[in-house]
Structure 1
Amino acid sequence: MAASTELYTPVMSDALVILGAAGAVIPIFARFRITPVIGFILIGLLVGPYGLGKLVPEHPWLYHVTISDPDRLDIFAEFGIILLLFSIGLELSFGRLWQMRQQVFGLGSLELLGIGAALAAILTGLGQSPTAGLALGAALALSSTALVLRITNRATPVGRAALAMLLFEDMALVPIIFVLGALGPAAQDSMDGLMSTLATGTAVILGLLVIGRYMLPPLFAQAARTKSPELFLAASLLVVILASLATAAAGLSPIVGALIAGLLIAETEYHGEVENILEPFKGLALGIFLITVGMSIDLAVVAGDILKILLATCGVIALKATVTAALLRMMGARRGTAAETGILMASPSETTLIVLSAAAAAQLIEPSTEQFWQIVTALGLTVTPLLAMVGRYMAGRVDTIEPQQRLPDEQEPRAVIVGFGRVGQLVADMLAAHGKPYVAVDADADLVTEGRRLGYAVTFGDAARGNAIARLNLEQATAVILTMDEPVSAQRLVRNLRASYPDLPIIVRARDTTHAAALYQAGASQAVPETLESSLQLSEAVLVDLGVSMGPVIASIHEKRDQLREQLMEEGGLTEKPSLKSSSLHDRSA
């Protein structure tokens, strides 16, 4: 019994405090439509070792609702970051990363080196030693993967640029730590350790890629046969834990293993199911991390040095925003995209805390310097959601799009096209040709500007954010057509739209038949797989060239399409289409 009580006291009590705080913040802030990021940090500040936890010696009962030992926070923070990086990996793929290689190693390297060098030069000029300036510059140049990718939509130009820079920063984390170690007293040992770790880490990563390619499909296939969500969850957590342990044992960061685990599962046909099951854990993981950030802020130190801390925080944010925006403009980005991305990426990162600890361990900076910049980092993370809002506002100010065609009135029945790339424009052309009013929405300012110049009724908006779609007054919509080439986002948006508008026809572009089945399950009225339609068009061309009359060919194509659609709906778990008051554009606009 004593052993059981001893286990409960330090471990279970802390876990209950953090999970209970996360459970309280999410619904309260959701009710008031406020980002929970600030709430998580404030709660952490309240129940942490520098808040109510400080009063435990005078009031022992507070022990069970606070955390009084700062050292016990590390495991919870690392757990939150690991889950976040795993979920990010799930939404990527090796093919997409390969396509982004120029942005990752071009833009990403320039951003990290440019900001790091600028900060190092300024801090050295303010009295830091050259090695301390280099260490602090490298630490503060990093941006928050956990927050930025949670806030932004990776399908937009801002999201793609931020993702490229953040991926490079995550890959550069381990070399940065070892270079700092090489600058310390035991330089030769650090260099030997660097080469050894790089060799071992490379071998481990290659091993994970090979094992994952051949072991994960049968593992998740077996989980799928049991039709047990719990087994899917257990298998997913097993993969991410083993991958994180493997990279940690090799001397790399566990978050590298978590990201690789997500990428490996993203390559399997079961990634959609894994993502659905893990969806509730994303908010929880972010909350755990942010609560630990709040717990690390010592209000006594802040109050004693408030002016310097505020100046340092504002200076770092201003410099990072300026350098990032200038680099993006040099590489051809629009002014609005450059401004929004620069401001969004301006705050320090959760990995800044890791680099600061490594620099202090290498005796490059004093403990007091480490604590000062830890507080600056925590404050920077706190204002990241506010920076995102400022960035969106500034983007609208510097890159205003003047309408060249009257958009349909909000009260006028019209179709809503989400995504205005090649497919969206073709749908708009066909609707216009048959006299059907429409409005299109896209998060790419370049596409919106070009579309309006050509006379299309298109407006700027990010469909991933609920308020952008809500502003289009879908109560009056004749249908919603989703054309974006983002399978996960499309599936999530269909689910949300169906929950809010049960009678709305939702027609969705699907990547393949598997994706179409998942969209039907999410609530789509019609899901059109690209691979299926190209096969039907090819069959039509073959039959006509062989001399079959056009009438029977068209009839057989329609019959085959209906047959395949019913099959896909059955695979999606539906026996009939979602109930609609009116199932056609003509009926709803009549």
Structure 2
Amino acid sequence: MGENLHEIWLKDALVFLFAAGVLVPLMRRVGIPSVLGFLLAGLALGPFGMGALAERWPLLEHLTFADPVAAEPFAELGVLFLLFLLGTELSFEKLWSLRRMVFGAGGLQAMASVIAITAIVALVGAESHAALAIGLALALSSTAIVMQTLTEEKRAAGPVGRAALSVLLFQDMLVAPILILIGFLAQGQEANLFGALLEALVQGGVAVAVILLFGRFVLKDAFRMAARAGGRDFLMGLTLLVIVGGAVFTAAAGLSLALGAFLAGLLLGETEFKHQAEVDLEPFKGLLLGLFFMTVGIGLDLATIWSELGLVVAGLVMLLAVKAIIATVACRAFGVAAGHAIETAFLLAPASEFAFVVVTTATAVNVLDAPTATLVTGIAGLSMLLTPAMAHFGRRLAASVDKRAAGEAVAETFPDLRGHVVIAGFGRVGRTIARILDAEDADIVALERNPVIVARERKAGRKVYLGDASRPEILAQAGVAGASMFIVTVDDAKDAAAMVHAVRRMRSDLPVLARAQDAEHASLLYEAEAEFVIPDAVEAGLQLAGRALAEFGYSNEVLKDRIAVERSVEYQRAAAPPA
């Protein structure tokens, strides 16, 4: 028996590694995001996919999961690692700055979603307790899928990432109240619901307080002791203890496992061991999260979904539309820019893996019957499968909204200005240029596509406007016709080249300076007729080489001559047309 179980585990491990090392990379080659790739792999290799055909073709048994339930603890560990690493990227100050979003937008989104979904399900004929259970199951969103999607796109720390994380943190706090409420739906009105919720609130508060106190007074010393003992293995062991221990502690208090891991990351992020932990955990996080996404795909019963396809599709469309509208309104109500609110809402519209827990609990206490539970889990699973597509569609819709807003914003400027400098992109590089030009009393008009930067800099008195500098009408409103110089600082090579092209069509005589990331990027800008381009990578290399020569003892004169020669060669190479 033990040997048979060992063989099952070994075979399932090989199937997972085949998916992670072969199938998902192949899907990435054709443009499928890794999150969706793992979901599809789980769907294909699970008992409702190729596994259902194993009786007819026994060979398929070797290519499918024999015991998907055994993988769930490891999959949960992937979610904990993700939340832990997200926590290390924040600080208590940043988290405190998000409090309005967490309790305001998060609370509004969750409560309104529960009420709306419950009302719609009740209207189509469901009994009130069952309707409420379905509303509670589908109201939340998947922290793992949403945040991993944003992490892959390197936008988890941006405005959309912060807004999504704020809402998801509040949802994690609702785990205990929702499960308590499901239990009380089966007990009737005699049960003391208020008392149970108050007890859960106290337990959760105590658990969070204990974790925070441990982090403040014990965590740093414990890591220093492990570091002095020598070896990364001790630090790794202590890191895993902190993650799993924090998760278990919050779970025991009725909160979610993910919340405990997030708090552990927040605390470790305040110490000097933050970067070591991030480097050590990153590869494990990716693999274990992939396993988590596969378990979601494995749970989709395609046969049942197909037999009730009309009802499932109608429920899926209703769920996505209602939650997207509510999340947009909630984010806008608490100060998120229109485009970012829409993008965040589309990410949050699908259901959460927590839906499976709620449905299982509701079925166990006879609040939901088995056929209804299967339909709800099918809708939840399909919505999660659509998260990457929803993210893509939301991003495109947000971009179109921002373009319309940009036209309105720039219309407030003065197209008749003369002698001013137009800066396209007002990030760190753009702001540095502006500060230096301020000393010479230059008049500056900046165009930026990030509404948060625009709002902040306008409040500081800058002439910064939301707008795409590759659009002629935006350039006209920014006063390019009378400008003395145009400077491009944006990162994206294609966007930067499009801006230079647009300016050149309007003013062939205008000096156009641009920043490039490397020589290839610089060649594109020169081809677009930029007058002078600074490649970041070239300058960084020259500065480091100069420092290296100084360490070797070369005199300043020799150093300057050698760097000047090399700079001339590199800039000529960057200015040469692409081969």
TM-score range, shorter chain: 0.7 to 0.9
Distance 1:55 1:417, change over 3 A: same
Q: Which amino acid aligns with 2:38?
A: F
Distance 1:160 1:469, change over 3 A: farther
Aligned ranges 1:256-295 → 2 under 5 Å: 256-295=259-298
Partner of 1:50: 48
Distance 1:198 1:20, change over 3 A: farther
Q: Is the 8 A contact 1:431 1:438 kept in 2?
A: no
Q: Is the 8 A contact 1:25 1:36 kept in 2?
A: no
Distance 1:456 1:77 in 2: 45
Q: Is the 8 A contact 1:340 1:388 kept in 2?
A: yes
CA offsets 1:105-159 (integer angstroms, 9 cap, x no match): 1111111111110111111111111111111112211112112222332443322
Distance 1:226 1:424 in 2: 46
Partner of 1:444: 451
Partner of 2:481: none
Q: How far has the Cα of 1:453 moved from its partner?
A: 8.7
Answer yes or no: is 1:122 the counterpart of 2:120: yes
Q: How far has the Cα of 1:472 moved from its partner?
A: 3.8
Match of 1:245 among 244, 248, 251: 248
Q: Is the 8 A contact 2:46 2:64 kept in 1?
A: yes
Match of 1:419 among 415, 419, 427: 427
Q: How far has the Cα of 1:243 moved from its partner?
A: 2.2
Aligned ranges 1:291-310 → 2 under 5 Å: 291-310=294-313
Aligned ranges 1:177-576 → 2 under 5 Å: 177-185=179-187, 188=191, 198-225=201-228, 228-400=231-403, 401-402=406-407, 419=427, 424-430=430-436, 443-444=450-451, 447=454, 454=463, 468=492, 471-472=495-496, 478=515, 503-505=537-539
Distance 1:587 1:449 in 2: 39
Q: Is the 8 A contact 1:44 1:292 kept in 2?
A: yes
- Mean alpha-carbon deviation: is it higher for 35-44 or for 354-363? 354-363
Distance 1:268 1:459, change over 3 A: farther
Q: Which amino acid aligns with 1:316?
A: L
Distance 1:134 1:218 in 2: 47
Distance 1:146 1:74, change over 3 A: same
Q: Is the 8 A contact 1:416 1:477 kept in 2?
A: no
Structure 1 or 2, whichever has the larger Rg, is: 2
Where 1:14 maps in the other structure, the secondary structure is helix
Partner of 2:523: none
CA offsets 1:293-326 (integer angstroms, 9 cap, x no match): 1111111112111121111111110111112222
Q: Is the 8 A contact 2:447 2:464 kept in 1?
A: no
Distance 1:502 1:426, change over 3 A: closer
With structure 1 as the length reference, what TM-score do the two structures score? 0.72
- Mean alpha-carbon deviation: is it higher for 424-433 or for 373-382? 424-433
Distance 1:19 1:275, change over 3 A: same
Q: How far has the Cα of 1:589 moved from its partner?
A: 10
Partner of 1:496: none
| Equivalent residues, number | 491
Distance 1:197 1:156 in 2: 33
Q: Is the 8 A contact 1:56 1:68 kept in 2?
A: no
Q: Which amino acid aligns with 2:387?
A: T
Q: How far has the Cα of 1:469 moved from its partner?
A: 6.1
Distance 2:39 2:209 in 1: 38
Q: Is the 8 A contact 1:313 1:380 kept in 2?
A: yes
Distance 1:329 1:216 in 2: 38
- Mean alpha-carbon deviation: is it higher for 177-186 or for 438-447? 438-447
Partner of 1:78: 76
Q: Which amino acid aligns with 1:277?
A: D
Where 2:147 maps in the other structure, the secondary structure is helix
Partner of 2:166: 164
Unmatched runs of 5 consecutive residues or more in structure 2: 414-421, 471-489, 499-512, 519-534, 552-562
Where 1:50 maps in the other structure, the secondary structure is coil
CA offsets 1:496-532 (integer angstroms, 9 cap, x no match): xxxxx894335xxxxxxxxxxxxxxxx9969xxxxxx
Q: Which amino acid aligns with 2:213?
A: V
Partner of 2:38: 40
Q: Is the 8 A contact 1:182 1:191 kept in 2?
A: no
Q: Is the 8 A contact 1:19 1:288 kept in 2?
A: no
Q: Which amino acid aligns with 1:294?
A: G
Match of 1:67 among 61, 65, 73: 65
Distance 1:217 1:453, change over 3 A: closer
- Mean alpha-carbon deviation: is it higher for 345-354 or for 111-120? 345-354
Where 1:364 maps in the other structure, the secondary structure is coil
Q: Is the 8 A contact 1:103 1:161 kept in 2?
A: yes
Q: How far has the Cα of 1:170 moved from its partner?
A: 0.9
Match of 1:143 among 138, 141, 144: 141
Q: How far has the Cα of 1:168 moved from its partner?
A: 0.5
Q: How far has the Cα of 1:268 moved from its partner?
A: 1.4
Partner of 2:110: 112
Unmatched runs of 5 consecutive residues or more in structure 1: 406-413, 482-500, 507-522, 527-561, 567-577
Distance 2:564 2:125 in 1: 70
Distance 1:581 1:180, change over 3 A: farther
Q: Is the 8 A contact 1:40 1:291 kept in 2?
A: yes
Distance 1:25 1:416 in 2: 41
Where 1:142 maps in the other structure, the secondary structure is coil
Q: How far has the Cα of 1:471 moved from its partner?
A: 4.3
Distance 1:150 1:581, change over 3 A: farther
Q: Give the percent of matched residue pairs that are identical in Structure 1 and Structure 2.
A: 35
Where 1:504 maps in the other structure, the secondary structure is helix
Distance 1:310 1:336, change over 3 A: same
Distance 2:245 2:272 in 1: 21
Q: Which amino acid aligns with 2:186?
A: G
Distance 1:45 1:99, change over 3 A: same
